[in-house]
Amino acid sequence: MKICAVLRVVPDLVEEIEIEETEIVPFAYIANERDEHAVEEALILKEKAGGSVDVLGVVDEDTASDVDEPLAMAYAKGADNLIKAILSRKTFRRYEVAKGLAEFLKDKGYDVIFTGIQAIDAFAGTLGGMLARCMNLPYIGGVVEVDVQNGTLVVKKELGGGLLGEYRVSTPAILGVVSAERPLKFVPFAKLKKAMKEANIDEVDIEVPEIEGIDVLRYYEPPKPEITLLEGDPEELAEKLVEVLKEVSVL
Amino acid sequence: MNVLVFAEVVENEIQEITYELVGKAKQLGDVTTLVVGNADVSNINSDVIQVDAGEPLPWHYKIVEKVFEKLKPSAILFGNTLTSIDIAAQFAAQLDLPMATMVTDISAKDDGFVATSLVYGGKVLVDLALKSPAVFVVNRGSFPAEEGKGSVGNVEKLSLEELGVSDGIEFVGYIKPEVEDVDISKMDIVVSVGRGIGDEANIELAEELAEVLGGVVAGSRPVIDSGWLPKTRQVGRSGKTVTGKLYLALGISGATEHVEGVKAKNVIAINIDRNAPIFRISRCGVVADVLELVPVLIEKIREAKG
Ligand SMILES: Cc1cc2nc3c(=O)[nH]c(=O)nc-3n(C[C@H](O)[C@H](O)[C@H](O)COP(=O)(O)OP(=O)(O)OC[C@H]3O[C@@H](n4cnc5c(N)ncnc54)[C@H](O)[C@@H]3O)c2cc1C
Ligand SMILES: Nc1ncnc2c1ncn2[C@@H]1O[C@H](COP(=O)(O)O)[C@@H](O)[C@H]1O
């Protein structure tokens, strides 16, 4: 099976992000968590069905090098080919990215393309579903498990509240992963370092079209909470918390 | 203007978020709600088009497309749920319509709309201008459900044959949640751990705290995904909703998908980041390192209990 997984970097929310009226300026980037799960599930499918996994790191000029380490990580875990897709411009619209990527992906012959679902910076679309329409392929998101039976994908999807649904999906298809079926494989630092040295990353340029219809007016901070936040040394805070626990009659 | 609402149906039942969407849509214009499946639609406070097509499936964007052609709505509202987002994204792309996700507010402006979205894990709001017709994927709990409830207007029933659509992905069946050791949604006191707990070994700390409080331990998605707690302990959109007396959040940021599952009467959050969105739903917020505070807190609680 020829498998592809889309991997991208997003602002690291553990670090500060600067909220400017017209853009979000992150301090650091990390791999999008859902994409890491998409890569993991791609590798799991390869274990189950054989074949190869290509990981497509999607970046723009500004984040082009931030994806090197996540790509090397995928390589260390067993990905076969690494490709860096450099978008011709930054955009917050998934639809524009989908159109650009579809053009690149259409003749690559992938049986399954994995994307993560709903990156933290998603507010104008969801890539998987849009890519599916641009490529005229079936799509299903919320995926937590993939098997193959008689050449057909058998997919488990989350429906919320702990409920899952099972679906049959013919290939080629696009699957939006929310979590891989097992925890992400741990890669020791030495192995990652080695992969960083060894891994060969191909680069392609992706022309992103400009489509009208939606614009950012402004970014801003949500209103501050109405409560007073408690701060201080642990001893003092613990005492205050005990009082609160009494107030709500837990103690 | 005409507004189309895509009903959220799970196991043949209309979900609460549908009424929230209908309520908001009524402020914008004349509403028709599209229901896939044969759920009871009598409480929907709008006209309804009901399509006999079993459970909603990702390819049902084709149904929305047909109904869109028929009604020519200016706005199409979906819930931000695992089912609807698959359909919304494909529908928007298929018809080249602008789409906003994670939406918490919508207003009509000039000949289009302004939508507000809550993004970056709940840390940023963004106002978007959209041309009409536009697609909105709305967060649960953004609008009151009452306004969307009432008695249904005109109900038109259609079949897939009449609409002339069919396609690929086949529904096999539901897989019910595993039988749990404890049902966190029914527990009065829940101590919940997030990624901020740092390490699997530290879960013990939360267990000890839960024990002195007479509660149980739950967690956010990353903790469950890492295999540190069983799936049945997940709080949030994909997991359970907690409704008890106390929810104590340790190192949880408060992403939308998480707080959707937090309906406890009192939320106490401990987080090292004073801008953590979890504080917005808390009765009491503590800016501290959980690993430093929790051991001391356990001691103090023991003392208080005597
Ligand atoms: C379709 C979909 C469904 C989802 N369903 C769910 C769901 O059901 N449940 C769910 O939880 N998530 C769900 N998510 C994921 C959700 O978007 C968030 O990624 C997740 O809730 C984040 O978990 P967290 O708060 O534990 O981790 P993070 O967001 O990483 O937050 C960790 C927090 O810990 C704090 N911290 C770090 N160290 C310390 C310390 N020493 N002391 C105190 N605080 C510390 C940090 O400041 C931070 O606020 C879903 C996502 C998608 C796309
Ligand atoms: N603007 C973008 N540029 C590149 N990749 C993206 C962009 N938006 C989303 N993706 C990727 O698309 C997948 C799904 O993201 P989302 O659109 O948030 O559901 C993830 O793999 C993202 O990392």
What would the mean pLDDT of B281-290 be, rounded to a whole number? 97
The average pLDDT across A239-244 equals 97
| Residue from A136, A241, A242, A248 to probe the interface with B (highest B Cβ count within 10 Å) | A241
pLDDT at A150 over 90: yes
Query: What pLDDT, on a 0 to 100 scale, did the predictor assign at position A143?
Result: 98
Alpha carbon distance, N-terminus to C-terminus of chain A: 58
Give the model's confidence band at B166: pLDDT under 50 very low, under 70 low, under 90 confident, else very high: low
Query: What integer best gives the mean pLDDT of chain A?
Result: 96
pLDDT digits (tens, 9 = 90+) for B144-160: 999 999 999 999 999 88
Percent of chain B with pLDDT over 70: 99
- DSSP E strands: which ranges in B161-230? 170-175, 189-193, 216-219
Q: Could you give the percent of chain A with pLDDT greater than 90?
A: 94
pLDDT in tens, A94-134: 999 999 999 999 999 999 999 999 888 889 989 999 999 99
User: Per the structure block, which two tokens stand in for B224?
Assistant: 């469950």
Residue B115 C-beta-side C-alpha neighbours within 13 Å: 32
Contact status, residue B235 vs residue B220, Cβ threshold 8 Å? yes
Q: What is the mean pLDDT of residues B282-296?
A: 98
Q: How far is CA A26 from the centre of its chain?
A: 17
SS3 of A144, please?
strand
CATH of domain B184-305: 3.40.50.1220
Average pLDDT over residues A205-224: 96
Q: Distance of alpha carbon B126 from its chain centroid, rounded?
A: 19
A120-129, A148-157, B161-170, B294-303: lowest mean pLDDT where? B161-170
**Ordered structural domains, chain A, with CATH:** 2-206 (3.40.50.620)
Per residue in B18-43, pLDDT (tens digit) is 999 999 999 999 999 999 999 999 99
Write down how long chain B is: 306
On average, the pLDDT of chain B sits at 96
Residues of chain B with CATH 3.40.50.1220: 184-305
Tell me how far apart the alpha carbons of residues B282 and B267 are, in angstroms, rounded to a whole number.
Answer: 5
Residue A85 above 70 pLDDT? Answer: yes
CATH class label, B2-163: alpha beta
Query: Residue B186 CA to chain centroid, in angstroms?
Result: 19
Nearest 5°: CA angle at B210, between B208 and B214? 120
% of chain A with per-residue pLDDT over 70: 100
Using CA coordinates, name the residue in chain A closest to B237.
Answer: A160
- pLDDT of the residue at A108: 98
pTM of the model: 0.94
A211 CA: distance to closest CA in chain B (Å): 9
Structure token pair of residue A132: 């599916």
> How close is the Cα of B254 to the center of ligand 1, in Å?
6
What is the pLDDT averaged over residues A135-162?
Answer: 96
Q: Which ligand is nearest to the CA of B231?
A: 1
pLDDT at A144 over 70: yes
Average pLDDT rounded to a whole number, residues B79-84: 96
Q: How far is CA B94 from the centre of its chain?
A: 25
Q: How far apart are CA B304 and CA B301, in angstroms?
A: 5
Asked whether B90 and B61 are in contact (CB, 8 A), the reply is yes
Q: Which of B111, A12, A161 is nearest to A142 (CA)?
A: A161
Asked if B239 has any chain A CB less than 8 Å from its own CB, the reply is yes
Q: Is B288 on the interface with A (CB under 8 A)?
A: yes
Distance between Cα A116 and ligand 1 center (Å): 16
List, by residue range, all CATH 3.40.50.620 domains of chain B: 2-163
Is pLDDT of A137 > 80?
A: yes
The residue assigned the tokens 């890539």 is A127
The pLDDT of residue A118: 86
Residue B149, beta-bridge partner list: B44
Which of the residues A37, A221, A245, A246 would you substitute to probe the B interface, choosing the one with the greatest number of B C-beta atoms within 10 Å? A245
- Give the torsion sign (CA, A205, A210, A213, A216): positive
ipTM of the complex: 0.93
CB B130 within 8 A of CB A214: yes
Q: pLDDT, tens digit, for every residue of B195-225?
A: 999 999 999 999 999 999 999 999 999 999 9
The residue-averaged pLDDT of A44-50 equals 97
Whether A77 has a pLDDT exceeding 80, the answer reads yes
Nearest CA, atom 18, ligand 1? B255
pLDDT in tens, B84-110: 999 999 999 999 999 999 999 999 999
Largest CA distance in chain A: 65
Pocket lined around ligand 1, Cβ cut-off 6 Å? A 34, 117-118, 178; B 82, 121, 194-196, 198, 220-222, 234-239, 251-253, 255, 257-258, 261, 270-273, 276, 289-291
pLDDT band, very low/low/confident/very high, at B306 (cuts 50, 70, 90): confident
* Angle at A142 (CA atoms; ends B49, A183), nearest 5 degrees: 165
pLDDT at residue B106 in the model = 98
Q: Angle, nearest 10°, between helix axes B84-94 and A127-135? A: 40
The pLDDT value recorded for residue B163 is 81
